[in-house]
């Protein structure tokens, strides 16, 4: 067992000093729109505003259409009802086997260690998910272990969210040690948006926890726009690659945020500068409150055809949709041509 010095870190201060008041967010950005403000106040009741200051710092001032702002500012359109947009589009409540465990695909399962995220993304498919009733407690570990024993086909555990990197290094290391103790587990995957919104979270201690583990580590970050990837963020991501940790990115295709080919091309190119490989480009999950981010199928098709033509194959993310009950994420491109 390796021992680390668990110091209180700058990133933890950032995590406890988030912007949660729409008035403050608009003021920081020199936006004085009453309409934006009143819409934000209404929509924040369903799903709170939550955004780190470092992420606000990447937004353009005085631009109500800033692609980063649009992802986090509550909007009155979220309150509209639309056919087909529901609270649990992926049927996750039904797939819940044990507290914190979501096992939908054969070789890997999701383990939710915390319901908290550093940022609240308005389009999130988990915005209505009852996390707090569904977290593993320390006493639940034997049950999870037993579940793994009954499912020898599982060789990868995905720490997901909420966001697992809101946990302290101490707690994170405890779970890594637990998973390491199970011989069948070979790969540890972490799905997190924190490295994008609070890049300092990628500290030396975190890197050494992964580097010193017998598990192969993959970090899948979530960035939707090159503007999220400033120099500090890229240098932190690069430090993971230097430590031989695989870093991938998943993005969500969002109307008004990244729905044009130049934006998607720039995102892939910028990720690669930090040695991050594009992994998935998700079509929006039809979650209640996110209809205004949705794109028409024709538009998605045209966009994807264009980025395929512009990028080398290794920088093209896989276009996928998650369909409840399927064995994997469903690829969306090219099927009709067989
Ligand atoms: C998305 C997801 C995974 C990971 O799928 P990959 O295609 O391996 O990235 C695993 N489990 C659940 C429940 C998921 O939703
Ligand atoms: S789970 Fe991911 S997409 Fe959803 S709010 Fe948290 S960080 Fe955003």
Distance 222 CA to ligand 2 centre (A): 9
pLDDT at residue number 20: 98
Answer whether 122 contacts ligand 2 (Cβ < 6 A): no
The beta-strand segments (E) located in the chain are 96-98, 101-105, 108-112, 156-160, 187-192, 216-222, 246-252, 277-282, 318-321, 330-331
pLDDT at residue number 333: 79
Q: Domain spans of the chain?
A: 4-79, 92-126+133-331
Atom of ligand 2 nearest to the CA of 197: 7
Among 332, 323, 325, 328, residue whose Cα is nearest residue 305: 332
Distance 331 CA to ligand 2 centre (A): 22
Helix (H) or strand (E) run with residue 27 in it: helix 22-28
pLDDT at residue number 334: 59
Answer whether 78 contacts ligand 2 (Cβ < 6 A): no
Residues with Cβ < 8 Å from 165, sequence gap 6 or more? 118, 172, 190, 192, 194, 195, 201, 206
pTM passes above 0.75? yes
Binding site, annotated residues = 117, 121, 124
Distance 21 CA to ligand 1 centre (A): 33
Q: Do the Cβ atoms of 225 and 265 come closer than 8 Å?
A: no
Residues with Cβ < 8 Å from 336, sequence gap 6 or more? none
pLDDT at residue number 130: 66
Q: Do the Cβ atoms of 189 and 220 come closer than 8 Å?
A: yes
Measure the N-to-C terminal CA separation of the chain; round to a whole number of Å: 52
Answer whether 191 contacts ligand 1 (Cβ < 6 A): no
Answer whether 193 contacts ligand 2 (Cβ < 6 A): yes
Dihedral sign for Cα atoms in the order 67, 68, 73, 77: positive
Residue 336 to residue 338: CA distance in whole angstroms: 6
Residue 313 to residue 315: CA distance in whole angstroms: 5
Could you name the CATH architecture of 92-126+133-331?
Alpha-Beta Barrel (3.20)
187-220 CB burial, b ≥16 within 10 A, e <16: bbbbbbbbbbbbbbbbbebbbebbeebebebbbb
Helix (H) or strand (E) run with residue 11 in it: helix 10-15
Residue 55 to residue 71: CA distance in whole angstroms: 11
Answer whether 290 contacts ligand 2 (Cβ < 6 A): no
pLDDT at residue number 2: 46
Residues with Cβ < 8 Å from 95, sequence gap 6 or more? 102, 103, 104
**Angle formed by the axes of helices 204-211 and 169-180, to 10°?**
0
Q: Do the Cβ atoms of 209 and 176 come closer than 8 Å?
A: yes
Name the phi and psi angles at 308, rounded to 5. Answer: -60, -40
pLDDT at residue number 91: 75
Q: Do the Cβ atoms of 201 and 229 come closer than 8 Å?
A: no
pLDDT at residue number 193: 98
pLDDT at residue number 1: 43
Query: Chunked in runs of 10, what are the mean pLDDT values of the chain (338 residues)?
Result: 54 96 97 93 95 98 97 96 91 78 95 94 87 78 95 97 94 96 98 98 97 97 98 98 97 98 98 98 96 96 97 98 92 66
Q: Do the Cβ atoms of 314 and 81 come closer than 8 Å?
A: no
Binding site, annotated residues for [4Fe-4S] cluster = 117, 121, 124
Residue 317 to residue 312: CA distance in whole angstroms: 11
Distance 105 CA to ligand 1 centre (A): 7
Which of 90, 93, 97, 110 has most ligand 1 atoms within 8 Å of CB, for mutation? 110
pLDDT at residue number 161: 79
156 DSSP β-pair partners: 108, 187
Answer whether 39 contacts ligand 2 (Cβ < 6 A): no
């Amino acid at each position: 067992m390796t021992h680390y010095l668990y110091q209180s870190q700058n990133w933890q201060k950032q995590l406890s000093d988030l912007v949660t008041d729409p008035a403050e967010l608009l003021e920081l950005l020199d936006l004085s729109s009453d309409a934006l403000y009143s819409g934000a106040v209404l929509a924040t009741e369903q799903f709170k505003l939550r955004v780190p200051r470092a992420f606000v710092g990447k937004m353009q001032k005085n631009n109500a259409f800033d692609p980063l702002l649009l992802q986090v500012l509550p909007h009155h359109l979220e309150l509209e009802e639309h056919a087909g947009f529901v609270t649990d589009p992926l049927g996750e409540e039904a797939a819940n086997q044990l507290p914190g465990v979501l096992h939908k695909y054969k070789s890997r399962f999701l383990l939710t260690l915390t319901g908290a995220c550093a940022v609240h993304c308005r389009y999130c498919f988990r915005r209505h998910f009852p996390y707090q009733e569904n977290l593993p407690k320390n006493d639940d570990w034997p049950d999870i272990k037993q579940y793994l024993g009954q499912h020898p086909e599982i060789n990868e555990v995905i720490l997901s969210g909420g966001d697992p990197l809101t946990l302290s290094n101490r707690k994170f290391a405890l779970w890594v040690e637990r998973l390491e103790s199970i011989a069948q587990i070979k790969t540890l995957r972490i799905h997190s948006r924190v490295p994008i919104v609070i890049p300092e979270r990628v500290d030396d201690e975190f890197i050494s926890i992964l580097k010193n583990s017998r598990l192969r580590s993959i970090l899948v970050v979530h960035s939707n726009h090159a503007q999220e990837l400033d120099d500090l963020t890229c240098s932190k991501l690069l430090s993971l690659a230097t430590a031989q940790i695989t870093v991938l990115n998943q993005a969500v295709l969002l109307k008004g945020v990244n729905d044009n080919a130049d934006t998607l091309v720039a995102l892939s190119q910028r990720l690669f500068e930090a040695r991050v490989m594009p992994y998935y480009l998700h079509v929006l999950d039809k979650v209640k409150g996110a209809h205004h981010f949705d794109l028409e199928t024709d538009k998605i098709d045209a966009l994807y055809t264009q980025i395929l033509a512009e990028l080398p194959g290794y920088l093209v993310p896989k276009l996928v949709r998650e369909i409840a009950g399927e064995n994997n994420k469903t690829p969306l491109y090219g099927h009709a041509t067989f």
